[in-house]
Amino acid sequence: MKPIDFDAQFTETLNQWMEENRGNYRNADEMEAALPEVYAQFLETPADWLDGKAPGHAFDDVENAGELLELVKRYIAEEIPVPDPLLERIADIGDEDALMALLKDESADCEARMLSIELLRQLESTAPMVEYIRWQVERNQDEDLLDNALESLRDMGKAVVGPAKIAFRAADETGKEALLDVLCDYPGDQEVFDFALSQFKSTRDKRALYAGYLAKLDDDHALEALLDVAESDDVSYIDFIEIRSAIERLGSEAPIRDFSSDPTYKAVHRLQKDRSPFGADRLN
């Protein structure tokens, strides 16, 4: 099999459809609303450029997911958009082993490995859990892969907590921060809470991030530190908004602050005022 540019073929079909139907719609918005139907028809219409197959069924006769994943790599190497029907067929086959092989192949293009993560997530697979956790600790993968893997870990639910906590203890600061993004949804671990609180106190450029984590960890022992920063002279408007939210979520009240001289406050205030006939929402 060789890569075929489905997008280019659809563009040609779409251009022809627009020429033929321009007079049937009052404006461009109406035409745009019809595009999903045009695309659906494109997928189901037999095409000469596919030897009579409909684009939506172009890969239905292939049973080997590894063969299709090799084709995906060829699409990416030749800089041709990977067609949706190809990815849908791989998902239909559901071969986790083939997807895991691509996931672990560090010689493969990052885009191909990203697609393997997304397909495994679509399959609701927990097979890559250990691999994803290891990535967060070792931090030797592309940042896009790490972020995408982290999203999958969150989607795996409570099953990830035990392995993630074990890895958390072995991770450096950056790895701990990444795993905290998952673990903060499952409060009650003292070590995890202590790390989040310590980082909130010591990492000034990430105050908003750690305030959000402390809110999710739902431990009111964080209130003293949150209130101290909320009342301090050096807290920025953006940080204060997140800190205030954490304080309120933990059952207390944040101080009232005047940020009228803060440039970010002014920009947000102006933007919200322009958008709403009732003026800016709660800004102070």
Q: Where are the domains of the chain?
A: 1-125, 126-186, 191-284
Answer yes or no: is pLDDT of 283 > 90: no
- pLDDT, tens digit (0-9, with 9 covering 90-100), for 243-279: 999 999 999 999 998 887 777 777 776 766 655 554 4
- pLDDT, tens digit (0-9, with 9 covering 90-100), for 90-146: 999 999 999 999 999 999 999 999 999 999 999 999 999 999 999 999 999 999 999
Using 50, 70 and 90 to split pLDDT, how confident is the model at 284? low
Mean pLDDT of the chain: 93
Cα separation, 70 vs 5, in Å, equals 16
Taking residue 232's Cβ as centre, other Cβ atoms within 10 Å add up to 12
Cα separation, 133 vs 165, in Å, equals 10
- pLDDT, tens digit (0-9, with 9 covering 90-100), for 154-184: 999 999 999 999 999 999 999 999 999 999 9
At residue 23, the pLDDT reads 86
